[in-house]
Structure 1
Amino acid sequence: MSGEYLSNLLTHKRTLFSLLSLLAIILLGYGAKNLYFKSDYKIFFDKKNPQLVQHEHIESEYTKSDDITFIISTSANDLFNEQDLTALLEFTRDAWKLPYSIRVDSVTNFQNTYAEQNDLIVEDLVPEDVHPEDTHFAQLKKTALEQIELVDFVLSADAKTTSVSVLLQMPDDEHAKDAASHEAVMAARELVQKYTVNYPELSIHLVGQTTVNFTFNELSKRDSGFWFPIMFLAMSILLVLLLKSFSGMIISLIIIIASVISTLGLMGWCSTPLNQVTAALPVIILTLAVCNCVHILNNFYYHLADQQNKTTALLNAMRTNLQPVFLTSLTTVIGFLSMNFSETPPLRELGNWAAIGVTFAFIYSLTLLPFLARLLPAAGRKKSSGKFGQAYSQWLYRKRTSVFTVISLIVIGLLIQIPRNELNDNTIGYFKESVPFRQAADFMQKELTGFDSINYSLACGSSNCVNEPEYLKKVEDFSKWLKQQPEIVHVVSYTDIIKRLNRNMHEGDKPFYTIPESRELSAQYQLLYELSLPFGLDLNNLINVDKSALKVTAIIKNQKAQQLIEIEKRSASWLKRNAPELNSPGAGISLMFAHLGQRNINSMITGSILALVLVTLTLIIALRSLKYGLISLIPNTLPAATAFGIWGVVLAEVNVAVAVVFSFTLGIIVDDTVHFLTKYIRARKEQQKGTIESVEYAMSIVGKAVLVTSAVLGAGFTVLALSDFNVNAYMGAMVAITIILALILDLTLLPLSLFHLDK
């Protein structure tokens, strides 16, 4: 089917195609009722991800990590006074009442132990009734600060800050789990509000894994519900100003809305949930869908200004833009589909659904736009003289050597900055500092303990073997080594408990703060201790059910991806040298993200190269010219590369989303190149113009459209950069920078390359 025939068909049968499009929009849009949000951090990982597999193994062996933790700090000298301890006791009791709560750990219910003759006494550190006349606050403080299991973990060294950690038993069903997270966090916020009113000297912050999941969900909904309307309004204003046509703005917005509705509706029909990353889809589709509209409408108004009637102008606009619109849509789809090389499922989903959204935008720009353009009034306007495009092209030709030199020096200067970038994913850094959770996590790291942790499940080989002295000593040696690492602020290990019990049963003598000498003695102490523990405070967070393994947790403060991986490597090396039979991979949520970022970069290099090859081959075939296809490499590869150079100067840190920017933007920035080259080739081959005249022609025809689309795209992704979720914000900022650089290079290096290579 020839382009001429298809253009005639789409123009003259526009009513039929518009009705079919409307029917498709209604049917697809109805599926949006099935959309829901999924905010679990595990969605970022494939099921076979080795770090996720180990993390889930540890969760299956020990208590799961779903929790809400309250960080409580006082303005008094310390927490060990009547008012603050009373508040902590009440708060701990109320924390048990939170939805899905199965365990609460706080400084008040820390299980303090001591011996009376041959009896082991296990009781709460702080008695239920606190009275100044019979409570020795100084002694309580001294006892608490002597417990290495508490300091720099549950209680700060200055005793001003503490934590109350609530373990939750969440539903397995993902729909129910999100609802449960919302219920639990909202109840926790109400609890915080209640106690900050009743005890104004206390400041209370919320952290914990369930809080993280809820914050992901909350920010996703805010991005889609807040930024999309703002972007929609900004897009409307930009289109009116740049197209100078109210009806053109209306047509573009209808195509945009239709594309977004169809994409989200199809997601609903496919039962694909929205998540933290794909919540940005409406803004992305809104931004990309406008490009085809601008090029077709700009050409339509150009022909109207040439005194053509609407049908003829529409036919000429369709004929002129059918191939470039198809090519730009195809290359954009290729770029997005290359994101399937990403190690991150949400980024793969973003690429796939963005590709589908671009496809819908392409279809509706050919089927719905002609009907709307013919139906709505189009105010006449003066025909552009093309003088600016002509004058700019002539100036560029005269100054080609100096402009080429300046642009080349700038590009080279930016390219050499790329190595400054380093992968440094940071779980806390996924959130901007304005987000309450980020503020809480920063406060916790400053005043109490670390946010990140690495867990090790050290198996002894058989059931009930955890009390073997030789095994316990090796676990203790590993725990001691971890404590010596400068990045680690606390280590949670069962060996600290068994050493404390051994000392208790030897009249508190410090020399007996060691591993018991026999298995029988360790087992006896463990049994006495477990029988004395209150409901909900068992040892399953440290010992697995059949007592064949112990969990050791290293708490780490203020470290990023590379440092976490380095700590893991050092730990693995120590175990291999000193306790090879215990060697076990570390696991932890932050460690999972650290490895994910590195693998994502490696996989996306392959994806980006493949996308570049496919896009270049597409252009070579479509333009029927090896030379023009290779020339297109210049404005197609340099924008993203130079953007990474700017990023290296400004921020120098790459997260999991920034790694996909080259593939993400490749198909987008090809848009301007394709439209410029197709008009240039038409002038060269059909109108037999020379190189300079062909550049002038292309600049006059597409110059304005290129400026409009770049402005709209840049504005759209700049809005995304304002997201409080830094994965989306960094990606939006990088894409916006890349688009602006692509515009500059398309208007300078591309025509300069044609001047030199197509004489």
Structure 2
Amino acid sequence: MKQLWLNWVLKHPWQVLLSTLLLVVLMSAGLSKLYFRGDYRVFFADDNPQLLAFEQMQDEFNKSDNILIGVAPKDGAIFSVANLTLIKQLTDAAWQTPYSIRVDSISNFQHTEAEADDLLVEDLLLDTSLLDSNKVAKIRAVALAEPALLNRLVSASGAVAAINITVQLPELDKNKEVFDAFGFAQQLKADFSQRYPDVEFHLAGVIAMNHSFAYEAEHDAQTLIPVMFAVIVLMLALLLRSVLGALATVIIIIITISSALGLAGWAGIFLSTATVNVPTILMTLAVADGVHVIASMQFALNRGDDKTSAIVYSMQRNVMPVFITSATTAIGFLTLNFSEVPILADLGNMTAVGVMLACLFSIVTLPALLAVLPLRPGKAQQHSSNAMDKMANFVIARHRLLLPVTLLLMVGFASFISLNKVNDEAVKYFSPKTEFRQAMDFLDQNLAASMSMDFVLQSGQSSGVNQPEFITAIETFSQWLRQQPEVTHVNSISDVFKRLNKNMHGDDPAYYRVPQQQDEAAQYLLMYEMSLPYGLDLNNQLNLDKSASRITASLQNMGSKEITAFEQKALGYLASQYPQYAAAAASTALMFAHIGERNMASMLQTLPLALVLISLLLVFSLRSWRMGLISLLPNIAPAAIGFGIWGLYSGEINLGLSVVAGISLGIIVDDTVHFLAKYQHARHEGRNAEAAVRYAFHSVGRALWITTAVLAIGFSVLMLSGFRLNSDMGLLTAIIILTALVIDFLFLPAFLLKFDTKESKTDA
């Protein structure tokens, strides 16, 4: 059957090429349907419990999507006439931000004072023309004593301030809306930087994070793909020493990527920070198939075969290994469907489809291409074969030493896996070189900027927030939060009640406490709300019928385990102290923490399934249970060693790294399958283990190190990404791929020489 199909392809190459072109055009038409999404919600499924809790909280209270503009005068003095004027001007200008519903700063903080029997509510800085040393001193005293401002909108040192812009996106075109809002903030930053050259401005917040997700993904697509393409073309030309051979492989790469992305468009899949890597990954994987076919063809040409015979020789020896390695790679990527992150599942599906398309084109279109191209023997083949022969002789001569030494090294490096821990911090998804990360790191050092957790306490009845016992519960919980080492700031309605109670008692500090009577609390709150200007109401802290209140705790930068532990600790406190009130917690940081934990757990559960499926495929392809079992250790060890090395290097496992074991398992099978297939072929011809090892090195060794070099460099290109999920994934995958080659060149042949000593041609 295989021979009939191959003969037909070689007799009708132009028909095959035209049919391929038509198929590719039809599939690629879906490219027009692709669109890009860069908001953080793409990381979460619609039924994600933390996302549902977060969206419910967003519906009940004001949205918390924000842009935080950090203001850092070089003189370190926010409280001066010039810098307070700047804060006032920037606050007023920030109201023009598209989709903004609220702007908070020290200038428009609604300060309350007693004036005889009246309550005076006005901006802390109402008129900059009235600023003098006394007014500046009063503003400083109020701002540094006010819990709602201190460490949130002004640092305790008075050196850094912030303007917080709350936005409510219509969510009709999320990407455009994020770019519109953030683009306006960038323009504000540019304008004020020019007007105030002695002041540094930093942009942070959720909208800034969304913009960074989108920007880094688009930047990767514009830079990494061309870099990867150039690297592959250069490497193919150098390693294959054949311009036409490199051209044929590049054609397979292009039609594979175009078809895979087109099918994704037809399927309604959008591009994201994860799926923009599909072209880069497919380039590396498609190369592996092409290199094996062309390298085997060159091997036959160099020994004197004509071109048609050389193509037949190559295809007979590579069709099954190419199919099996493609299938195992696809299985590895399909395990991402068990991921808790939808865009990682999209990455897995798109890549799996692309890998199988590359397989199809490599065993149907590539031989037709090679048949019509005037290929000649490669000049580098003989030198490379000599190098592989020397490598074989080295392993054969020292296999008794190599086996225990490599086994010891494998166990040693794998033992460091325990040093790794799951640690997902959304801010750390970005490289320290990115502008967003630098802004967040700076503001985290001075203000509570990057991480928060919202708690909602339900009173159970309308206007229940006016009950003194409920306000007391909020106040007690707020004080408990402030005592926790993880907490840097707490925003609570109880602080407003205490301030109003003091104001309504002639600003007597003794009355800075929760009101004792419900009617008093209700009256104070009504007077205060009636005095608040548009956009600065209490909807960010109280729901519509005033039955519940939101308390926001700003946190230090923590890993996912610490965040989820803090959530449980806080909710446990509320359950034990105030069981009569329903409580819930939500925030973007909490969402990412939970998704990181669950994603790692789900990926660990699917690894055994992937291993079983891949092992069965290997047994089927090699038609030997013994060879299938022999292949297990060389296939498992690289990932174990890679994660051990990562434990020494970093020790942090994020969303990107949690999927590496699954996808790399499918890729590293490539080397093992091709080596064992050639080894087994020699054994079937009656050669002993030594001769079979020599034949495997001689016939496939060159192709293995070429494909490994291309794969490793291909994934290493991802290290140039400013998005750490991509760069870490690229680095660790490259480490695992290189490790796989070392194991297959040193451990696997030594293992075969030690344990596969039967002289019979038949399989076990």
Q: What is the TM-score normalised by the length of structure 2? A: 0.97
Partner of residue 718, structure 1: 716
TM-aligned CA deviation for residue 460 of structure 1: 0.6
Change (3 A) 1:305 1:486: same
Residue 171 of structure 2 is aligned to residue 172 of structure 1: yes
1:742 to 730, 740, 743: 740
Q: How does 1:5-404 map to 2 (within 5 A)?
A: 5-133=4-132, 136-173=135-172, 176-381=173-378, 384=382, 386-404=385-403
Partner-residue secondary structure (3-state), 1:367:
helix
Q: Deviations over 1:377-426 (max 9, x none)?
A: 21334563844333322321221121122212211111111100011111
Partner of residue 528, structure 1: 527
Partner-residue secondary structure (3-state), 1:384:
helix
* Counterpart residue identity of residue 191, structure 1: L
Mapped contact 1:3–1:323 kept (Cα < 8 A): no
Residue 676 of structure 2 is aligned to residue 690 of structure 1: no
TM-aligned CA deviation for residue 367 of structure 1: 2.4
Mapped contact 1:82–1:130 kept (Cα < 8 A): no
Change (3 A) 1:133 1:718: closer
Give the whole-Å Cα distance in 2 for the aligned partners of 1:164 and 1:597.
31
Q: What is the TM-score normalised by the length of structure 1? A: 0.98
* Counterpart residue identity of residue 251, structure 2: I
Residue 457 of structure 2 is aligned to residue 487 of structure 1: no
Partner-residue secondary structure (3-state), 2:120:
strand
Partner-residue secondary structure (3-state), 2:498:
helix
Stretches of 4+ aligned residues off by more than 6 angstroms: none
Q: Deviations over 1:443-478 (max 9, x none)?
A: 001122241001111101122211111111111111
Mapped contact 1:14–1:367 kept (Cα < 8 A): no
Residue 638 of structure 2 is aligned to residue 664 of structure 1: no
Q: Deviations over 1:587-637 (max 9, x none)?
A: 111111111111111111111110011000111122111000000101100
* Counterpart residue identity of residue 439, structure 2: A
Q: Deviations over 1:81-121 (max 9, x none)?
A: 22111111111111011111221111100000012122111
TM-aligned CA deviation for residue 136 of structure 1: 2.0
TM-aligned CA deviation for residue 132 of structure 1: 4.7
* Counterpart residue identity of residue 284, structure 1: I
Give the whole-Å Cα distance in 2 for the aligned partners of 1:490 and 1:397.
66
Give the whole-Å Cα distance in 2 for the aligned partners of 1:533 and 1:635.
69
TM-aligned CA deviation for residue 373 of structure 1: 1.1
The number of residues matched between the two structures is 755
Give the whole-Å Cα distance in 1 for the aligned partners of 2:41 and 2:161.
29
TM-aligned CA deviation for residue 141 of structure 1: 0.8
Partner-residue secondary structure (3-state), 1:203:
strand
TM-aligned CA deviation for residue 485 of structure 1: 0.3
Partner of residue 757, structure 1: 755
Q: Deviations over 1:722-746 (max 9, x none)?
A: 2100011111111000000000001
Mapped contact 2:240–2:378 kept (Cα < 8 A): no
Change (3 A) 1:250 1:592: same
TM-aligned CA deviation for residue 583 of structure 1: 4.3
* Counterpart residue identity of residue 524, structure 1: Q
Mapped contact 1:85–1:130 kept (Cα < 8 A): no
* Counterpart residue identity of residue 299, structure 2: Y
Partner-residue secondary structure (3-state), 1:585:
strand
Q: How does 1:587-602 map to 2 (within 5 A)?
A: 587-602=586-601
Deviates more, 1:3-12 or 1:439-448: 3-12
Partner-residue secondary structure (3-state), 2:552:
strand
Residue 717 of structure 2 is aligned to residue 727 of structure 1: no
Give the whole-Å Cα distance in 2 for the aligned partners of 1:169 and 1:590.
19
Give the whole-Å Cα distance in 1 for the aligned partners of 2:234 and 2:154.
54
Give the whole-Å Cα distance in 1 for the aligned partners of 2:264 and 2:257.
11
Deviates more, 1:552-561 or 1:482-491: 552-561
Give the whole-Å Cα distance in 1 for the aligned partners of 2:503 and 2:393.
91
TM-aligned CA deviation for residue 77 of structure 1: 4.3
Give the whole-Å Cα distance in 2 for the aligned partners of 1:263 and 1:135.
68
Deviates more, 1:542-551 or 1:443-452: 443-452
TM-aligned CA deviation for residue 545 of structure 1: 1.0
Mapped contact 1:342–1:603 kept (Cα < 8 A): yes
Give the whole-Å Cα distance in 2 for the aligned partners of 1:580 and 1:754.
66
Give the whole-Å Cα distance in 2 for the aligned partners of 1:547 and 1:604.
43
Partner-residue secondary structure (3-state), 1:636:
helix
Deviates more, 1:385-394 or 1:672-681: 385-394
Partner-residue secondary structure (3-state), 1:126:
coil
Partner of residue 708, structure 1: 706
Mapped contact 1:468–1:518 kept (Cα < 8 A): yes
Give the whole-Å Cα distance in 2 for the aligned partners of 1:388 and 1:551.
69
User: What is the identity percentage for the equivalent residue pairs of Structure 1 and Structure 2?
Assistant: 39
TM-aligned CA deviation for residue 133 of structure 1: 5.0
Deviates more, 1:558-567 or 1:589-598: 558-567
Partner of residue 652, structure 1: 651
* Counterpart residue identity of residue 495, structure 2: D
Give the whole-Å Cα distance in 2 for the aligned partners of 1:407 and 1:680.
20
TM-aligned CA deviation for residue 178 of structure 1: 0.9
TM-aligned CA deviation for residue 584 of structure 1: 2.3
Give the whole-Å Cα distance in 2 for the aligned partners of 1:388 and 1:440.
52
TM-aligned CA deviation for residue 148 of structure 1: 1.3
* Counterpart residue identity of residue 169, structure 1: Q
Partner-residue secondary structure (3-state), 1:417:
helix
Q: CA RMSD in A?
A: 1.4
TM-aligned CA deviation for residue 211 of structure 1: 0.9
TM-aligned CA deviation for residue 76 of structure 1: 2.6
Give the whole-Å Cα distance in 1 for the aligned partners of 2:421 and 2:4.
52
Partner of residue 637, structure 1: 636
Partner of residue 447, structure 1: 446
TM-aligned CA deviation for residue 12 of structure 1: 2.6
Which 5+ residue runs of structure 2 have no aligned equivalent?
Answer: 758-764
Partner-residue secondary structure (3-state), 1:188:
helix
* Counterpart residue identity of residue 192, structure 1: K
Give the whole-Å Cα distance in 1 for the aligned partners of 2:378 and 2:152.
71
Partner-residue secondary structure (3-state), 2:163:
strand
TM-aligned CA deviation for residue 201 of structure 1: 1.8
Give the whole-Å Cα distance in 2 for the aligned partners of 1:186 and 1:564.
31
Give the whole-Å Cα distance in 2 for the aligned partners of 1:506 and 1:11.
97
* Counterpart residue identity of residue 62, structure 2: T
TM-aligned CA deviation for residue 363 of structure 1: 1.2
Give the whole-Å Cα distance in 2 for the aligned partners of 1:353 and 1:289.
14
Q: How does 1:565-580 map to 2 (within 5 A)?
A: 565-580=564-579
TM-aligned CA deviation for residue 3 of structure 1: 2.5
* Counterpart residue identity of residue 715, structure 2: F
TM-aligned CA deviation for residue 504 of structure 1: 0.5
Mapped contact 1:10–1:366 kept (Cα < 8 A): no
